[in-house]
Structure 1
Amino acid sequence: NNCEYQAMELDATEFDENDLPLNLVIRLNQRCTSCGKCVDSCPTGALVKKHVTLPVPFDELEQVRSVCAYCGCGCNLTFNVKGESLVEVTSDPDRAPNFGNTCVKGRFGYDFVHHPKRLKVPLVRRGDYFKETTWDEALGLIAEKLLQLKERYGPQALAALSSAKCTNEENYIMQKFMRAAIGTNNVDHCARL
């Protein structure tokens, strides 16, 4: 039994004349968290990840360490990349805070990376349309508009709403920016909603 949650049950539906199982069925009970550990530890390859359509030798993958973007826990992830494609997400069992464990979103929820409508560059409204621009221009425009609003209406007219998908450090920087640079305490977090 490789599942630490004891979420996998193995049943035989048929037996041969020697009472050996012919047809095995794997069932996942309500304790399954879809962590993917059963797939990793399957010695025969009978359990596979649905999204991996082309097997790639592990030594051909570039490993990029990162932090999960789905919540603020800060779980470590390793992105296994081949060229421009994210092939698989794994996690180092020796690194805190998750020590190789991931939730279903962190482990399997990365298909948005290859979505054709994913924004890869900043967009700025020009009349009725959005046009691609550089990061320098987009950030400059944001700074300009924030300063205009602050000068016209005062710092209390501005507020910031942070995200649980950010790291603690990113949330800290956001609130520090709002308090020190903008001059407002109007800071909140989506986890309170």
Structure 2
Amino acid sequence: MKQVLTTCPYCGTGCTFYLNVEGDQVVGVTPNDDPRSVNQGILCLKGHFGYDFIDRQKRLTTPLIRKNGELVEASWDEAIHLVASKMKETIRDYGPDALAAFSSARCTNEENYLMQKLMRAVVGTNNVDHCARL
């Protein structure tokens, strides 16, 4: 069995654990008991048992965009270009304060920092919020 060190995706605390992998399947989780890790060998229930979403058939693995009223698969380049062009159009027509960002407690502190930096420094709005519930 191979073990892959990773960061828990369920909140911004940054707990680390090992994904136990057999073949190409995740079969379990082992907490990282390194005393320097933030969780020091302890995981919440979601971190310990919430890995089964990885292999779900209904999991989105590619962007979807709406064409002629229907959601269709798109490349990442196409989806990013569409979002960027719609954001530029909105800023041009209504100003930067017409946009807002709502970040997630599932993101790391660094990811949340980057989100607010993008909105404030690039877009030009202070309309940034966060769902901080740990």
1:71 maps onto 2:11 in alignment = yes
Please state which structure has a larger fraction of its residues in helix: 2
Report the counterpart of residue 167 of structure 1 in structure 2: 108
Which amino acid letter does the alignment assign opposite residue 145 of structure 1? Answer: K
Aligned length: 132
Which amino acid letter does the alignment assign opposite residue 142 of structure 1? Answer: V
Which amino acid letter does the alignment assign opposite residue 81 of structure 1? Answer: V
Aligned with 2:120: secondary structure? helix
- Which residues of 2 match residues 106-117 of structure 1 at below 5 A? 106-117=47-58
Deviations 1:155-176 (A, max 9, x none): 0111000000000000000000
TM-score, scaled to structure 2: 0.92
Report the counterpart of residue 80 of structure 2 in structure 1: 139
> Which has the higher relative contact order, 1 or 2, with Cα contacts under 8 A spaced 6 or more apart?
2
Separation in structure 1 between the aligned mates of residue 75 and residue 119 of structure 2, nearest angstrom: 24
1:86 pairs with one of 26, 45, 54 = 26
- In the TM superposition, what is the alpha-carbon distance from 1:141 to its structure 2 partner? 1.0
1:119 maps onto 2:60 in alignment = yes
Question: Considering only CA atoms, is the larger Rg found in Structure 1 or Structure 2?
Answer: 1
1:149 maps onto 2:90 in alignment = yes
- Which residues of 2 match residues 49-68 of structure 1 at below 5 A? 61-68=1-8
Q: 1:138 to 1:83 in 2, by over 3 A?
A: farther
The CA RMSD over aligned residues, in Å, is 1.3
Report the counterpart of residue 43 of structure 2 in structure 1: 102
Which amino acid letter does the alignment assign opposite residue 58 of structure 2? Answer: K
Q: Tell me, which stretches of 5 or more residues in structure 1 are unaligned?
A: 1-60
Separation in structure 2 between the aligned mates of residue 112 and residue 87 of structure 1, nearest angstrom: 12
Deviations 1:119-162 (A, max 9, x none): 01111111121111111111111111111111110001110000
Question: Could you list the runs of 4 or more consecutive aligned residues of structure 1 that deviate by over 4 angstroms after TM superposition?
Answer: none
Q: Tell me, which stretches of 5 or more residues in structure 2 are unaligned?
A: none
